[in-house]
Amino acid sequence: MISLRKIWRYRKGKLAIGILLFFLLVALLADFIANDKPIYCTYQGQSYFPILNEYAAHIGFSEQYTFLRNNAWNDIKLEKSVYPIIKFSSSSIDQNSSSLSSPGATFKSGVLLKQHWLGSDPIGRDVAAGLVHGSRKTILISFFVMLIACMVGFFMGILSGYYGDDTIKVNFWLLLCTMVSICFVWFQWWYVHWSFGFSGVVCVILIGLMSMLNQRITGKQIRLPLDLIIMRLIEIFKSVPALFILLALLAIISKPSMISLIIIIGLLRWSTIARVLRAELLHLKEKKYITSAKALGASDTQIILRHLMPNAISPLLTIIAFGFAGTILIEATISFLGIGLAADEVTWGSILSDARNNFSAWWLAVFPGAAIFLMVIACNFLGDTLNEISIKSD
């Protein structure tokens, strides 16, 4: 198995862990790094924790401070205050800030002196705050995209690699009945609006019932060419450039939310994982220890989970690390093109796209791009390290 300590031994691995950890921390603590509220302040002798209070208010534990009703934070004279390093939040626009101010520009906002560390964008939002909060979106999106991709990819890879074309045999009539009833459930979902969860549960029960009955029924059995079907599917996915499919799909959902974005990208990215897992399983399942496990009476689930997956995991981790890099790139590309999340949600790609119309504002081009680049290269480093480790251990 691969431990963090092993990765730490490589220079690239060290760099990768460092950069990724940094971005992870920034994403987690985004509200405490870039915010237009103070972290801690005292007002009329009482001390407050405005950011924590906001969290609490979000859950419903507390309410907004009464003295704030009609004021913004920068209008109130606080006796003592500890502000975050970046005194802006990503979306709110400071009225006193000017658009496209260059990095380091300071200005007076109410009683505060604020500074755009990395400049501001065409409508006066702070770039540094955008980067900090953008890292949260990038990490969230790429994590869940890869989660979906892994789930689908593992499932498909095991089906095509372990079971293959010849293993699964089903009674023809049973299969037909199951297919027809699944189609029936789908039909009800479509026309009578059965709930999605209910239909899903019914389908799962149907498939379970089929596999149970299949062992009891004797009769003409046909083999399911799972490998063939899945490989064809992957081929089709490969044949249309991902960006084109993505653009067409996103255009149909004219305003994609984070969740729909994640699902769409995730469903486009499973094919590499499935292919690598398939190749790995094809190679591993011929090993002697698998035969012995089978001879000892281990079930398929046991063999896959206990014996095959732990051995197949290291090339998979490599592919997943590179997959992260690709996902970050794709997400950045579509928000750069303006088709990703809604326009008021600041992402790295959306800040970068502002640079296209403002040539004089070099900071809009350099910083968000550098952030994307750092993330991508950290993932690549991680992938390289994992690859080296898995080659060495073979």
Partner 1 sequence: MFIPSIILIGVFTFFLFHASPADPIDSLLRIEGFENDVMSDKQYQSQYKRIAKELELDLPKFYFGIVPTYYPDTLYKVIDKQKRNRIKELLRHHNDWSTVSAFLNQGKILLAKLEGKDLKREVNDLLNIKDPNFFSTALNSDIKVEQALKETDFFSYAQILGRQKKRGFAIPKFLWFGTNNQFHSWVSSFFSGSLGRSIQDGRPVWNKISKALGWTVFLVLIGLVLALLISIPLGVWNATIVSSRWSRILNNIFYFIYAMPLFWFATLMVVFFTTSQYGDWTNIFPGVGISPYSGDLSTSGRILANSKQLILPVFCIVLNSVAYLSSIVKNSIIAESNQAYKTTALLKGLTKRATFWKHLFPNSILPLLTIIIGTIPASLSGSLVIEVIFNIPGIGRLMFDSIFGNDWYVIFSIVMLVGIATIISYLIGDILYAYLNPKIRFGRSKKVG
**Site residues, partner 1 (CB under 8 A):** 184, 187-188, 191-194, 232, 235-236, 238-245, 247-249, 251-252, 254, 325, 329, 332-333, 336-337, 339, 352, 355-356, 359-360, 362, 365-366, 369, 372-373, 376-377, 380
Among 180, 185, 233, smallest CA distance to 210 is for: 180
Identity of the residue, 214 or 380, whose beta carbon is nearer to partner 1 in the bound complex? 380
For residues 276 and 161, give the distance between their C-alpha atoms in angstroms, rounded to a whole number.
Answer: 9
CB 277 to partner 1: min, Å: 20
Among 13, 16, 131, smallest CA distance to 389 is for: 13
Question: Helix or strand or coil: residue 73?
Answer: helix
Q: The tokens of 8 are what?
A: 């730490």
Identity of the residue, 192 or 212, whose beta carbon is nearer to partner 1 in the bound complex? 192
226 Cβ contact partners less than 8 Å away, ≥ 6 residues apart: 159, 160, 163, 164, 165, 168
For residues 99 and 132, give the distance between their C-alpha atoms in angstroms, rounded to a whole number.
Answer: 19
Helices (H), the chain: 4-8, 11-28, 30-33, 50-59, 127-158, 172-191, 196-216, 226-239, 242-252, 258-268, 270-284, 288-295, 300-302, 309-336, 348-354, 362-393
CB 198 to partner 1: min, Å: 11
Residue appearing with tokens 């062992």: 215
For residues 304 and 281, give the distance between their C-alpha atoms in angstroms, rounded to a whole number.
Answer: 9
CB 241 to partner 1: min, Å: 4
Identity of the residue, 276 or 309, whose beta carbon is nearer to partner 1 in the bound complex? 276
CB 263 to partner 1: min, Å: 15
For residues 212 and 143, give the distance between their C-alpha atoms in angstroms, rounded to a whole number.
Answer: 36
280 backbone dihedrals φ, ψ, rounded to 5°: -65, -45
297 backbone dihedrals φ, ψ, rounded to 5°: 95, 25
Residue appearing with tokens 């791009």: 369
Identity of the residue, 28 or 391, whose beta carbon is nearer to partner 1 in the bound complex? 391
CB 291 to partner 1: min, Å: 22
Identity of the residue, 262 or 352, whose beta carbon is nearer to partner 1 in the bound complex? 352
Identity of the residue, 59 or 252, whose beta carbon is nearer to partner 1 in the bound complex? 252
Identity of the residue, 149 or 376, whose beta carbon is nearer to partner 1 in the bound complex? 376
Whether residue 157 contacts residue 277, with contact meaning beta carbons closer than 8 Å, is answered with yes
Identity of the residue, 50 or 266, whose beta carbon is nearer to partner 1 in the bound complex? 266
CB 144 to partner 1: min, Å: 21
Whether residue 130 contacts residue 346, with contact meaning beta carbons closer than 8 Å, is answered with yes
For residues 214 and 209, give the distance between their C-alpha atoms in angstroms, rounded to a whole number.
Answer: 8
CB 369 to partner 1: min, Å: 4
Identity of the residue, 29 or 236, whose beta carbon is nearer to partner 1 in the bound complex? 236
CB 37 to partner 1: min, Å: 32
CB 365 to partner 1: min, Å: 4
